[in-house]
Amino acid sequence: MFCLPGRLCIFVADMNNLPTLLIPEKIDIESKQVLITWNNKGGQVKQLGKYWIKDEALTTQPIALYGNQTFVLVLAQLYSVALISPDDTLVSRLDRKWTKRDITTKTIALITEQDFPTFIKPVIPKIFIAGIFQNKTAFEQVTTGLQSTEEILVSSIVTPILAEARSFVLNGEIKDIALYEGEASLDAGKVFLTDFLLARKVDLPYSVVIDIAFNETLGWFILEFNACWGAGLNNCHAEKVIDCIISASINL
């Protein structure tokens, strides 16, 4: 059972009786692994082209969503599905013990020349390309046309990042973890992440993807949080993370 803020408690889908999985018509190799695993476990998968057209047959059965943000958000509204997602500003509220860097949430209007050089990422994904900006002029070039009230994450720069790893977590348990960039001790990364989950100093979603990164001086640190309904496998095994994907869609 899972309780959403401001809502009654509702039951998560039975893991032994898979809901119908809705995914985009065009998928990559890793999404195909999810599809195959779902079928192998006896579940049904529907690949949707014109996904914005409601299929009444899908309103009478439990469903799970997996795909890009636009695809999932449209379907969630069509079929009354609540999505389990991390707060996009959560990483800025973590203790420095876990982030190994200073991270603050600001608006575009509050950025000053004194903030640079710095790493900046939009709170709303992909409204501009995140990266290291050397000065305010360079930042203004990529944010032209955006509202000055748009929230951004401003972070001190960590270089070099030697490795990055993705983990799928369900109810505080690491279901799988894998390197997707560079090389470092994944065992040490898993120990770090386990310590973070045991500390539970912040409210994590029941189902969440946590990316961690490694720097030789700082060690492993929390990079960012993502939703299981939209995160790529990044070398994690589909059969190990199916429960995370199922739990990220709550049928109301």
Average of per-residue pLDDT across 148-153:
97
Distance, CA of 133 to CA of 247 (rounded, Å):
37
In a domain, 251, yes or no: no
Which pairs count as long-range contacts for 141-150, CB under 8 Å and 24+ apart, including other chains? 143/108, 146/108, 147/108, 148/107, 148/108, 148/109, 149/107, 149/108, 149/109, 150/107, 150/108, 150/122, 150/123, 150/124
184 and 94, same domain (yes or no)? yes
Residues 75 and 95 grouped into a single domain: no
192 and 75, same structural domain? no
pLDDT tens-place string over residues 154-210: 999 999 999 999 999 999 999 999 999 999 999 999 999 999 999 977 789 999 999
**15 has a pLDDT exceeding 70:** no
Q: Are residues 134 and 164 in the same domain?
A: no
Tell me: pLDDT of 106 over 90.
yes
Determine the structural domain holding residue 58 and report its residue range.
2-84
Structure tokens at 145: 């046309």
Question: Which residues are CB-neighbours of 8 under 8 A, at least 6 positions away?
Answer: none
Q: How far apart (Å, rounded) are the C-alpha atoms in residues 77 and 230? A: 16
- Is 245 domain-assigned? no
Are residues 172 and 214 part of one domain?
yes
Angle at 107 between CA 101 and CA 113, to 5 degrees: 70
CATH of the domain at 123: 3.30.1490
Identify whether residues 192 and 93 lie together within a single domain: yes
Tell me the H-state helices in 79-171.
96-99, 136-143
Residues 151 and 163 grouped into a single domain = no
Q: What does the pLDDT read at residue 13? A: 44
Strand pairing partners for 81? 251
Q: Is the pTM of this model over 0.85?
A: yes
Q: Does residue 90 share a domain with residue 80?
A: no
Residues 62 and 249: their CA atoms lie apart, in Å, by 9
**In this structure, is residue 94 part of a structural domain?**
yes
- Asked if residue 189 and residue 151 are part of one domain, the reply reads no
CA–CA distance, 15 with 19 (Å, rounded to integer): 9
Determine contact, residues 196/242, Cβ cutoff 8 Å: no
E strand or H helix at 69, and its extent?
helix 69-78
